[in-house]
Chain A
């Protein structure tokens, strides 16, 4: 039991230690400075730009950045629909899996384009190998697009007045090739040598020791599993994601996969510090994020290791913790760690079934997604956090009677309006959609969407929309979600919740960048102090608690009291 906790601490420390140098490297990449991998990637990227007819020295305004982002996303959406609806007859389909229905293909394509990776299909039977490799492409490029947007934010926060914020294609391609690719490759190689399959052969048939005949799914899994972790995508090769013994064969791979979820998200925070030469600001952000993260992690580990009180009442030995939906090779502590890491960072891969988590652990995973800024997704986590900073700056300014300023730029009504719209969108989408689905189910109980009765059933729906809106992609998988209603409603939410929280912060940053730079004076509210960190934390806690407490009280909190010993 103690080795489990020591292992968790080790994983976290190693993540932080690796994130710092990686952050420095990312800052150098975005600043266009020399890096170790230049000899490999300079010619490759030049080739990309020559074929595509792109001139990366042409800088873009914030509006041009957004137009470019949206255009390329439309291209991606069309290509994804095309492949998924035709995979049945396309090559690389040894298991003979069929093409997707239109609503499922819509949901899946949106899900992968938006970096969500909500999966209403099961990998073994729902996609061909060609489909899998195509989905893997999205895991690179959707993460790269998120990081490119973060790079635009970095550029906009510099101390100057400008409307030119770098070139989108440049940031996007570099994010994919120089950051995501090398890290994914290392992870993929580790996985391959630990027993994760990487083959184009189809299912194998075996006769078990007891004499049963079963089939075993395989496929080119290792390449995809690496980037699904590294890019905070989360869409697994097999149905049960990293709980599958091929997808995550042992504790070592579990350590590697756990670290690779938040690694780049944390590194981006440090990269911000290096890029702006404001290391203290980066540490403030990192401290607030980590404090929030630990606030969810510690009780979740405690609860999962303590087990299910309803099973404890049966009088059996629960020293291993709550083991329903968990694998013996990971144990309950490492499963709890993964559950919180994956929900705080918008990843959504799982190594244990979240539907079977004890009630309050389920709540902490939902809270991680509802805040969606404690590390957060690739690039977008930082954008979400930026919104909270803007709100905190404004409220602090009002409290002490100073003009709200952030990094030498005055924050005015227009920026605040955008920030509030972006913030309110997330609770609005989640709560309205959950309410609507509850209403529909109440009137049509024969739809049978839920796998569990009572409070937990409500949690299943709340979780699904929270996950969609957070672009997370994990689920309380008992929910019968491959129906037109869930496919389409989740698809629309994923789209809105991906692009509005990108457009908003980039608009704010772009508008601020065009404003006059006011040098720091004695009257400036300093953003890189502990006090401001506490203020930001308080803003996050209050806003999110006010938005979600009632819904959580109906689901996980009520369930907790129903089985509390």
Chain B
């Protein structure tokens, strides 16, 4: 073992220089060509910077499309899911309360129409998306408050729905809500 200590240490030093130093630097160099130089893409409108495109925000005001519940309240200094087990009685009561709250704020919606993602917390606590369906069932509420035609809102959701070749259809809520504010003006 003794005669392996020195070569093992020196080889480790080589690896530190190569992987921590050179590999990291090269990937960082490539990132300089990427959107916003690898610092995370932001969404701006005019002079206002509204945040990061990929990081969800808390929307609880009735005039906006609500985002999903979050275990970390969309504070992206950290991240986290609820880690509640499927049989946890406190958790199930919490979901029931979210359903009830949603129905109070959206009186025209029936319980069967509420998609599960609107009343369950995401894994990251920063989910920037909703399913198109979860956005659509909020249309009646927003149309009423903002005094906008429902058809216009549904068209807006369609416009902001991402329909990829693989996987699920998503709507970026921040983009959608910014567009919603513009619509009013």
- A residues lining the B interface (CB < 8 Å): 3-4, 6-7, 10, 44, 47-48, 51-54, 67-68, 70-72, 75-76, 79, 122, 124-125, 133-134, 136-137, 140-141, 169, 173, 176-177, 181, 184-185, 188-189, 192-193, 195-201, 203-204, 206-210, 212, 214-218, 220, 222-223, 226, 238-240, 243-246, 249-252, 254-255, 307-308, 310-311, 314-331, 334-335, 350-353, 355-359, 451-457, 459-460, 476-478, 559, 562-563
CB distance from A250 to the nearest CB of B (A): 8
Q: For A176, A210, A250, which residue has the most chain B Cβ atoms within 10 angstroms?
A: A210
CB distance from A341 to the nearest CB of B (A): 16
CB contacts (< 8 Å) of A359 on chain B: these are 86-87
Residue B14, interface by CB 8 Å: yes
Contact of A169 among B7, B77, B123 (CB under 8 A): B7
CB contacts (< 8 Å) of A124 on chain B: these are 77-79
Q: Mark B105-116, 1 if CB is under 8 A from A, else 0.
A: 000000111111
Closest to B130 in A: A328
Q: Which of B126-185 contact A (CB under 8 A)?
A: 126-131, 133-134, 164, 166-168, 170, 174, 177-178, 181
CB distance from A130 to the nearest CB of B (A): 9
Contact of A195 among B54, B91, B127, B181 (CB under 8 A): B54
Do B74 and A4 touch across chains, with their CB atoms under 8 A apart? no
How many residues of B are counted as interface, with CB atoms below 8 angstroms from the partner's CB atoms? 99
Do B127 and A328 touch across chains, with their CB atoms under 8 A apart? yes
CB contacts (< 8 Å) of B86 on chain A: these are 308, 310-311, 322, 324, 356-359, 456, 559, 563
- Give the complex CA separation of A334 and B168 in angstroms: 10
Given A255-B166, A326-B122, A478-B84; A169-B11 close (CB under 8 Å): yes
Do A251 and B27 touch across chains, with their CB atoms under 8 A apart? no
Contact of B92 among A176, A310, A329 (CB under 8 A): A310
CB distance from A441 to the nearest CB of B (A): 16
Do A251 and B167 touch across chains, with their CB atoms under 8 A apart? yes
- Give the complex CA separation of A186 and B152 in angstroms: 43
- The A-B contact count (CB < 8 A) is 374
Known A75-B9, A124-B78; further 9 A-B contacts with Cβ < 8 A? A48-B14, A137-B16, A216-B40, A315-B111, A319-B116, A320-B116, A320-B168, A329-B170, A350-B123
CB distance from B87 to the nearest CB of A (A): 5
Q: 6 A-B residue contacts at CB 8 Å?
A: A140-B15, A214-B57, A245-B54, A307-B116, A308-B86, A356-B81
CB distance from A412 to the nearest CB of B (A): 29
- Give the complex CA separation of A208 and B76 in angstroms: 12
Contact of B55 among A134, A246, A318, A324 (CB under 8 A): A246
Do A330 and B116 touch across chains, with their CB atoms under 8 A apart? no
CB distance from A122 to the nearest CB of B (A): 6
Contact of A4 among B49, B125, B168 (CB under 8 A): B168
Given A245-B54, A324-B84; A68-B79 close (CB under 8 Å): no
Do A356 and B14 touch across chains, with their CB atoms under 8 A apart? no
Do B60 and A215 touch across chains, with their CB atoms under 8 A apart? no
Contact of A246 among B37, B40, B115 (CB under 8 A): B40
Do A314 and B96 touch across chains, with their CB atoms under 8 A apart? yes
Contact of B20 among A134, A217, A329, A352 (CB under 8 A): A134
CB contacts (< 8 Å) of B77 on chain A: these are 124-125, 203, 214-217
Given A192-B31, A195-B40, A197-B39; A324-B120 close (CB under 8 Å): yes
